[in-house]
Amino acid sequence: LSQFISAPYAGQMLADLGADVIKVELPGEGKGDIARKYDPMYKEMSLYFASYNRNKRFLTLNLKTPEGQEIFRDLVRRSDGIIMASLSGFGQTGPNVHRQALDMSIQALSGFMDVTGFQDGPPTKGGPVLSDFIAGLYLAVGILAAYAYRQRTGMGQYIDIALFDTMFVLMENYPAIYRMSGEVPVRSGNGRPFSAPVGTYQAKDGKWLQISGTAEAHFEKLTVLIGHPEYIGQEGMVGAAARKKYHDKQLDADINKWLSQYTVKEAAALLDECGIPNAIVQTAEEVFNDPQVAAREMLICPRETVLDDIPVIGNPIKMSETPAEYRRGACAAGYDSKEILEELLERDEAQIAQLKEHKII
């Protein structure tokens, strides 16, 4: 009984791993999941909707009618211990329970936006939506944990997931640091608030390279590579926190000067050879064509799909015995209503036709 991103994504994760997931939507033109209406469209299928609803069966059911509610209860009765999960902006407790919530507002309220971006710029959101995906993952984890408990005890339980809570998790150790020191974390651009050197630096060809030299072993190798071995053991240069406090700007300037001699690929090769963590900042087009993405099967086309060869993002959980399967893509609302009612509730064709006539399905 979900729509948009978070809970549908959780359902898709479980469906990829073998669960029989039935997505229930209101019958009627334009009354299903709101994400079905989102552009861009291909063959009357929203690419947005297609990204979070593969491998499911689709049932329409008017839960505003007594007949629809009874059918839903009949489906639920087939469970041997009910696991019920709610996913909302702020959960089922607290003063914000009834507030509206979308990803941007959750990023703002959670503190995440205030620590993202550059110090001389405004608070900044993460690029794609974050809270929806993170909440969806936690929802799937919660369901699986409750399922394991049910397997041992036969008892179901209720799961309460809030986008706000799951986004707040990304505040790392900032609350502990604030409580300990009273220091409010500030935006640190592409660096880290308490560690150096780390950041993105521009190469000779104008492309960007992310470099991390915060661990002592990496820092020492980096100083030698960029031509400043005298920094090793120097006062204020020992420890990532000290370097951030006393030499952050100097180290950034040294790295930028060194990198200005090389293209981004040349510099990355030199850093790789020394075992220093680095990564070329890839464009969306570059990562779509990255052989690592292909090797990990992270762009997939379900076997049965209306999208032809247009890919969607695959499941990142790689399992040796029960790998994710991509049986079919997202379908029209109610696509499987007849099959579900016949298979699970033993309704005959006349009964199903009557339900359609009364707009129950």
Helix axes 264-274, 216-225, angle to 10 degrees: 130
Hey, CA dihedral for 299, 301, 305, 306, is it positive or negative? Answer: positive
**Contact of 311 with 286, CB cutoff 8 Å:** no
Q: How far apart are CA 163 and CA 322, in angstroms?
A: 29
Instruction: Answer yes or no: are the C-beta atoms of 57 and 21 closer than 8 Å.
Output: yes
What DSSP character marks residue 88? E
Q: Which of 114, 132, 165, 254 is catalytic?
A: 132
CB contact set of 189 (below 8 Å; sequence gap of 6+): 117, 118, 119, 199
Dig out the tokens for 13 from the structure.
């994760």
Q: Which H or E run contains 283?
A: none
Expressed in angstroms, the distance from the first to the final Cα of the chain is 14
* Dihedral angle, C-alpha 140, 144, 149, 151, nearest 10 °: 140
Identify whether 336 is a catalytic site residue: no
Contact (CB, 8 A) for 130 and 103: yes
Classify burial at 240, counting beta carbons within 10 Å of its beta carbon; exposed 0-12, middle 13-18, buried 19 or more.
buried
Contact present, 162 and 131 (Cβ < 8 Å): no
Residues with active-site annotation: 132
